[in-house]
Amino acid sequence: MKTSCEIIKDILPLYCDGICSEETQKLVEEHIAACPSCAVLLEKLRVDCHSVNTQSQLKETDMFRKASEKWKKSIWRAFCKGAAAIAAIAVLATTGHYGLCEVNIIHAAPDLVDSISYEIEGDPNNIAVVLNTNDGYFNGTIVSETDKDGNIYLSIARPIIKEKNRAGDNLQIIYTVNIENKSAVYYGTPEDSKLLWDTNSDLPEITYKEISKLHENTSIHE
Ligand SMILES: [Zn+2]
């Protein structure tokens, strides 16, 4: 008997977390091999899983440990002419994910953020945006707000107690945005923003696999 897509959809999160039995695993793999729509769903889940992992890695002790390591290094760097740290952290955050830094946030201004937007192959409901900041700070999280006209405004929020004097550090964020029934996606605020997508946009394509790769390549490194 062929397993229905509904059953597979229920099991996919467990499969993605690697916590289902071998038999179930086989069942999912057989289904995925023959069902493109569930395969797309799995790729999407994998990206989300990875993002959650990246997010939890950033939490509390780890984040502060890394921040203080980097802080120490950047002091040395201040003495070394021409040495620049490039740190990139991929953070895919939903509201509630920035509890750690919710007091005293500031937003990275649109003119300090480079962006590339992509259509996602096989998924007309989401787009992917890659945001690169160059204001010298490496930590932050995405905040998303939607107005009544279906315009989404994304911004990168930083805690005010971010590490200053971190010249050369950059942040790269890969973010998928649900554009179902939406009019446009902007980076910034209604007063100061740049367009990332609207219904007339003809964006380059990216696959969920490629998005996963980008996530892998943007964990903290120098
Ligand atoms: Zn299916």
CB crowding 72-96: b at 16 or more within 10 Å, else e? eebeebeeeeeeebebbbbbbbeee
Which residue did the predictor score with more confidence, 198 or 156? 198
Distance of CA 25 to the CA centre of its chain: 27
Q: Residue 114: CB partners within 8 Å, gap ≥ 6?
A: 131, 132, 133, 134
State mean pLDDT over 74-87.
34
Tell me how far the alpha carbon of residue 27 lies from the centroid of ligand 1, in angstroms: 11
If one compares 20 and 91, the residue with the highest pLDDT of the two is: 20
User: What's the one-letter identity of residue 16?
Assistant: C
User: Tokens in use for 182?
Assistant: 């939406």
**At 92, is the secondary structure helix, strand, or coil?**
coil
202, 68 Cβ separation under 8 angstroms: no
Distance (Å) from CA 101 to ligand 1 centroid: 40
Count of residues for the chain? Answer: 222
- Asked if the model's pLDDT at residue 182 lies above 50, the reply is yes
Distance from residue 125's CA to the centre of ligand 1 (Å) = 18
Predicted confidence (pLDDT) at residue 168 exceeds the cutoff of 60? no
- Whether the pLDDT of residue 15 is over 90: the answer is no
Q: For 89-145, how does the pLDDT look when each residue is reduced to its tens digit (9 = 90+)? A: 333 333 333 334 333 456 778 888 888 999 999 999 999 998 887 766 666 677 788
User: What pLDDT was estimated at residue 187?
Assistant: 92
Confidence of residue 179 (pLDDT cuts 50, 70, 90): very high
Show Cβ contacts of residue 41 under 8 Å, excluding neighbours closer than 6 positions.
Answer: 9, 12
* CA of 36 relative to ligand 1 center, distance in Å: 7
Q: What pLDDT, on the 0 to 100 scale, is given for residue 206?
A: 93
Q: Could you tell me the distance, in angstroms and rounded to a whole number, from the CA of residue 53 to the centre of ligand 1?
A: 26
CA of 3 to the centre of ligand 1 (A): 8
CA of 126 to the centre of ligand 1 (A): 19
pLDDT of residue 105: 54
With a pLDDT cut of 90, the percent of the chain lying above it is: 20
CA of 38 to the centre of ligand 1 (A): 4
Looking at residue 160, what is its pLDDT? 53
Extract the tokens encoding 194. 């740049």
Q: Is the pLDDT confidence value at 1 over 60?
A: no
Please answer whether residues 106 and 140 qualify as being in contact, where contact means their C-beta atoms are separated by less than 8 angstroms: no
Structure confidence by residue, pLDDT tens digits, 22-46: 888 888 889 888 888 888 888 888 7
How many angstroms separate the alpha carbon of residue 215 from the centre of ligand 1?
26
Quote the CA–CA distance of 119 and 23 in Å, as a whole number.
Answer: 35
Ligand 1 centroid distance, CA of 8 (Å): 7
Whole-angstrom distance, CA of residue 70 vs CA of residue 164? 11
| Higher per-residue confidence, 63 vs 128 | 128
**Residue-averaged pLDDT of the chain:** 71
Q: Which pairs from 57-65 meet CB under 8 Å and 24+ separation?
A: 57/219, 58/89, 58/91, 58/139, 59/100, 60/100, 63/100, 63/139
Question: What's the CA-to-centroid distance between 11 and ligand 1, angstroms?
Answer: 11
CA of 5 to the centre of ligand 1 (A): 4
Q: How far is the CA of 37 from the centre of ligand 1 (A)?
A: 6
Q: Which residue has the higher pLDDT, 184 or 211?
A: 184
CA of 2 to the centre of ligand 1 (A): 10
What's the pLDDT tens digit per position in 194-205? Answer: 999 999 999 999
